[in-house]
Amino acid sequence: MQGVTERFLDYISYDTQSSEDSSTTPSTAKQLKLGRRLSEEMKGMGIDVEIDKNGYVMGSVPSNIRRSVPVVGFVAHLDTSPEVSGKNVKPRIVKNYKGGDIVLNKKLGIVLKVQEFPAMKNYYGKDIIVTDGTTLLGADDKAGIAEIVTAVQYLVEHPEIKHGTVKFAFTPDEEIGKGPKKFNVKKFGADYAYTMDGDEIGSFEYENFNAASATFIIHGKSIHPGSAKGIMKNAIRIATELLELFPKGETPEFTEKYEGFYHIYEMNGGVEKTVQKCIIRDHDKDRFEKRKKFARECVHFINKKYGKGTVELRLKDSYYNMKEIIAKNPQLIGIAQKAIRDAGISPIVKPIRGGTDGAQFSFMGLPTPNLFSGGHNFHGVYEYIPIFAMGKAVEVIVNIVKEIGKVEQ
C-alpha cells in the first residue's frame, strides 16, 4: 500500500478549514483547491471523476465481473475543523516511537503526554505523524481521503481482484454538519457506502448521536446603573441563571459511551442582549426528545419569572442515529467486521459520540456506517496518526470491495 503516507502529507498542506459563518457551499473556497487537486490526480489514473461547483468530488471504478453485485461507495470529507487552524501545517514523523511523551513544540512548551493520551502506548515501535503544536494535523479527514485514493489506485493496478462497481466521493463542510447538504445520492449511484472518518485503528461505528442545536436569545433592558432599580433586566445575568438550570453532570466533560449531554459552547453579548449556543445529544431517541422538551421548559421558566419574550429559543434537529437504518442492512456490519479481521486487526465496535456525513446519508437512502481512518485527538494540536494504521485502512477498503464482489444479487 505504498503512497498513502506521501498522499496524506501532500493533502494536509492544503488549508481546507470550513466556516460556520458562511452560507455558501462549500463554506470556504479553499476546499475547492483540494477538490480540484484530487480530481486531477484521479483522472491521471484513468478514473472517471468530476467535481461540481459546490465542491463535491465523485468518481467510479467500473466493475470487472459480469454478474451483478451491489455497488459500494467510500466517502471522506475535504474540510478540517473550524476550531483550530489548519493553515501551514508542519507535520513531523516520529520514527520507531520509543514510548514516553513527545515534545511537539519546545519553544511553546507543548507536549503530547502519555498520561493524558494513553492510547500512545499502543504504537511502540511504530512511525507516528504529529503536529508542531501550532495547528491541527488534518487526519480528520485527509487520512480518509488518502486511504480511499490509495485503495482506488490499488484496484486499478490489480485487475486480478474481481469486484463490482466501486464509487468514491469527497465532500465539503462535514465539520459544520453540512456535508450532505447538496450531495446527490441518486447521482452517486451506490447501494450503500462507508465513510472513512473514524479514529483509532480497528474502530467501526454504526451508531451515532441524535443531535439538535439550540440557540437561546436573551433579551434584556439596559439603563444607566445609577437609576436601574426595578427597571434594568441584565441579559448576561439571566443567561447565567438559564445555564444553571441545566444538569451539571450532563455535559461533555462528565459523560461517555451512551450518555447524552447538553453543551453550551458559546455565549456572548451584553446587558441588552446575550446569545447562548448549545448542542443537545443523545443516542436514544426518546431521551433525545425529552432533552429538547427540557430545554423548552427552561425557557418557559425564565419567561414566567422575567416576562414573556425574555428568552427566545431557536431549536433545530441536526441529524439522527444511523442505527435505525443500518439495522435494516445488517450485511454492512458483517462485511466490515470480516474485512477488518482479514486485515489482521480486531474490530472495535463503539458508538460515535458525534455524527458523520454517514448519519445523514443513511436517512437520505444511502446506508453509510463509519470506518476508522487511524488518527487520534482530532480537532486539536495534539492530533496524531500512526502510519501503519493508514495502510491497514487501505487494506480494509480493498477487503470490503472483495467481499462485496462475492455477493449474489
Q: CA distances (Å), 162 to each of 40, 45, 73, 149, 394, in order?
A: 26, 18, 16, 18, 17
The closest of 239, 266, 265 to 252, measured between CA atoms, is 265
Classified as helix, coil or strand, 142 is: helix
Contact 64/70 with Cβ under 8 angstroms?
no
Classified as helix, coil or strand, 124 is: coil
Torsions phi, psi of 177, nearest 5? 75, 15
Classified as helix, coil or strand, 338 is: helix
Active site residue 10: no
Q: Which of 15, 140, 173, 174 is catalytic?
A: 174
**Distance between CA 37 and CA 7 in Å, rounded?**
11
Active site residue 20: no
How far does CA 395 lie from the centroid of its chain? 21
Q: Is the peptide bond before 342 cis (omega within 30 degrees of 0)?
A: no
Contact 352/187 with Cβ under 8 angstroms?
no
Residue 196, C-beta contacts closer than 8 angstroms, at least 6 positions apart: 74, 75, 76, 141, 143, 144, 145, 147, 148, 370, 371, 372, 373, 393, 397
**Distance between CA 330 and CA 282 in Å, rounded?**
23
Q: Which of 79, 141, 207, 395 is catalytic?
A: 79
Contact 197/357 with Cβ under 8 angstroms?
yes
**Distance between CA 262 and CA 295 in Å, rounded?**
9
Amino acid of residue 223: I
**Distance between CA 293 and CA 309 in Å, rounded?**
18
Contact 17/87 with Cβ under 8 angstroms?
yes
The closest of 153, 191, 149, 123 to 8, measured between CA atoms, is 149
Residues that are catalytic: 79, 174
